[in-house]
Amino acid sequence: VLAVNLKGAFLCTQAALPMLQVGGWGRVINIGSLGGQMGGIAVGVHYAASKAGILGLTKSFARHLAPYGITVNAVAPGTAETDLTAA
């Protein structure tokens, strides 16, 4: 989960940086989660840790890339009603 959620976001952003910096602007949107902000028992510890990492990664990239005209944000969708959440 950490490799996909956190490392994947880091590597994708890192790969796009040269093109974004040359262009002088860009947008990076990461997918966070309420589980990453609040933890809790509804999500696994590994999932919550990876999404909390996304928040830190997003804030760090945002500060680092702002001088290049690149904004970095995260969206954190709430819980969707599914069979899993209804249980």
What are the tokens at 69? 């005209």
38-44-56-9 Cα dihedral, nearest 10 degrees: -140
Identified catalytic residue from 10, 37, 47, 55: 47
47 annotated active-site = yes
3-state SS assignment for residue 73: strand
Question: Residues with catalytic annotation?
Answer: 47
